[in-house]
């Protein structure tokens, strides 16, 4: 994923905890401040979770003065440096899962207990199926680099009777939601990303 985004992985040398302190401090703040707020009320979707996390990050975490620098993270970020913003499509592409499948003589591949018809011209070849892990039923067929288009499902998967039932929804929370309050100034600062709409796109 990092390679697709053009990011370089730099590992911390052994026995140098100072290099890990920033990340560990962030996880500590996340666990102490953000996660407890999810109980009032809990997020009902990935889109809601993303919206609340973005609000907490930008309105709470980024606007608290750092004890060492004496600046807020958002102010320090604005002083310069190399910023490489990614488009939504670039991020979606980086997180797609890729699996290899062999196309049989009928022009189909097997995937998750079903058969899928691939575009013409790929008989008896190996192709790559690209899919969003949140939408594994939407497949795009690639062969090395060029994309060939979507795969079309040709039959229905048989449901597994031994599959566990979906867990019951938690009872609705009560009290004031701090995360909901943090989302109020978001539209005024910048246009919000439509996470829910992004989830529904293939």
Q: Which CATH number fits domain 96-153: 3.40.50, 3.30.60, 2.60.40, 2.40.50?
A: 2.40.50
Residue 186 phi, psi (nearest 5): -60, -50
Q: Higher pLDDT residue, 44 or 196?
A: 44
Side-chain half-sphere CA neighbours of 162 within 13 A = 0
- The Cα 135–Cα 50 span in angstroms is 17
Domain extents in the chain:
18-79+178-200, 96-153
Q: What is the pLDDT of residue 150?
A: 93
pLDDT per position as a tens digit, 100-129: 999 999 999 999 889 999 999 999 999 999
């Amino acid at each position: 994923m990092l390679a697709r985004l053009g990011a370089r992985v730099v590992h911390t040398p052994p026995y140098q905890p100072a290099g890990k302190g920033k990340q560990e401090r962030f996880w500590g703040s996340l666990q102490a401040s953000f996660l407890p707020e999810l109980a009032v009320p809990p997020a009902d979707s990935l889109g809601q979770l993303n919206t609340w996390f973005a609000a907490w990050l930008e309105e709470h975490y980024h606007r608290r003065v750092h004890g060492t620098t004496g600046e807020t993270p958002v102010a320090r970020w604005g002083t310069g440096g190399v910023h490489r913003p990614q488009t939504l499509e670039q991020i979606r592409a980086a997180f797609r899962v890729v699996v290899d499948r062999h196309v049989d003589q009928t022009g189909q591949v097997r995937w998750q207990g079903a058969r899928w018809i691939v575009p013409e011209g790929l008989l008896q070849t190996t192709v790559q199926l690209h899919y969003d892990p949140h939408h594994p039923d939407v497949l795009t067929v690639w062969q090395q680099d060029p994309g060939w288009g979507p795969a079309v499902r040709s039959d229905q998967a048989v449901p597994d009777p031994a599959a566990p039932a979906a867990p019951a929804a938690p009872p609705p929370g009560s009290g004031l939601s701090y995360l909901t309050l943090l989302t109020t100034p978001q539209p005024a600062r910048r246009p919000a990303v439509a996470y829910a709409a992004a989830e529904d796109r293939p």
